[in-house]
Amino acid sequence: MNRYTRSVSAVWANWKEAARLGVYPFDYTSYEDHEQVFRRLRTLDREAWADAYSAVAEPFERAAGAAEREGDLDAARRNYLRASGLYRMARWPACNSPGKKAAYEKSKEMFLAAAKHFSVPVERVEMPFDGRPGEGKVVLGDFRKPSVPGRLPVLLAWGGLDYYKEDTADLFAPLLNKGAATLVIDIPGTADAPVLASADAERMWDAAFAWIRSRRDLDGNRVVGWGLSTGGYWAAKVAHTHAEQFSGVVDHGGCCHYTFQPEWIEKAQYGTYPFELAETLASTLGLNTFEDWVANAPKLSLLEQGWLDRPSAPLLLINGTADTVFSPQDMHLLLQHGRPKTARFYPGDHMGITPDTLPTIYAWIAERMGLR
């Protein structure tokens, strides 16, 4: 199989427009921040990458601390977020080297410092997890709750391969405005997740549901899930494994079978994912190389695991018709099995991002929660 890798200049050329627009993974940062890094960067070596972006983040970390000491909380929030965004880039796309792991810790620290100054603050919660030997003992989550009386419905959400819980605050905020609480976790094998990706890593969700049920201010009968990209894989799975506990689940850009086959893995190397797609997917399994992913990915197939014809929670499938990251056939495979599902496919690449995409998802979630 051919393992294609882009050059530094090709990565930057592919990313320039997103950097100008300030869309993920460039949230809270400026075009000039990234231009400065890529002007000096000569290699995609993980440590060099982490060092280059961390150096650009440090001045904003210092500026945030100074503003906070002076009582300028708005400036503190903005600078903490900018530092967090740049440290996020320093650990991107995965925490698979010492420098990237250190950068992720800084990114979390900066995000939580900023989140103290949000109109609906973020609370870091620890949910007890009955892990096996070598696994973690807690599932960490970012919890937000609007000031609304009564027992609130819950958006239990998770990001994806490179999109961690600290990256999701703006995306999920509209559900706060509708009167829902939000609880965001990391998918197996990423960030703070206590388990690696495996054929039964959905055990992690048990901890989140137990925590929700323990809260008198939350309605455990109105929990909707939302997983993005690789998180969409876990959305499809937990919609089946936890079918009775979800009021509905959004699989936004996920995969389930064809994406794990060697033919697609090779094709995706030439898609829009900037670099190290297979290697980053392998890291969720505790592995490291392109070859590792090719050898082990098929074990994750939900078709081969036998889940797709079992009962599921109501599922909303969202993606782009020309996805180059995950096979578009995967969404169609889900439609051909099990309970009927709701689907909306948009023109374009991975995730099907258009002006209509997110409003469609918000409206579906609110309906499943019984909100306006």
**Listed residue (319, 314, 316, 338) closest to 329, CA to CA:** 319
Which regions in the chain score pLDDT beneath 50? Answer: none
Active-site residue set = 229, 323, 350
Other CB atoms within a 10 A radius of the CB of residue 274 amount to 18
135-154: pLDDT as tens digits: 999 999 999 999 999 999 99
**Cis amide prior to 59 (ω within 30 degrees):** no
Q: Is-contact 33 83, C-beta < 8 A?
A: no
State residue 1's pLDDT score: 66
Among 23, 34, 18, smallest CA distance to 90 is for 34
- For residue 223, the one-letter residue type is V
123-128 vs 342-346, strand pairing mode: unpaired
Domain spans in the chain, listed from the N-terminal domain onward: 1-117, 121-372
The helix, strand and coil proportions of the chain, stated in percent and rounded to the nearest 5, come to 45, 15, 40
- Global pTM value: 0.96
- The label of the residue with tokens 């590792």 reads 292
1-117 with 121-372: one CATH topology? no
Q: Which fold has domain 121-372?
A: Rossmann fold (3.40.50)
Q: Write the single-letter amino acid at 333.
A: L
Class of domain 1-117: mainly alpha
pLDDT at 2: 62
Cis-peptide, bond into residue 93, ω within 30° of zero: yes
* pLDDT tens per residue, range 199-228: 999 999 999 999 999 999 999 999 999 999
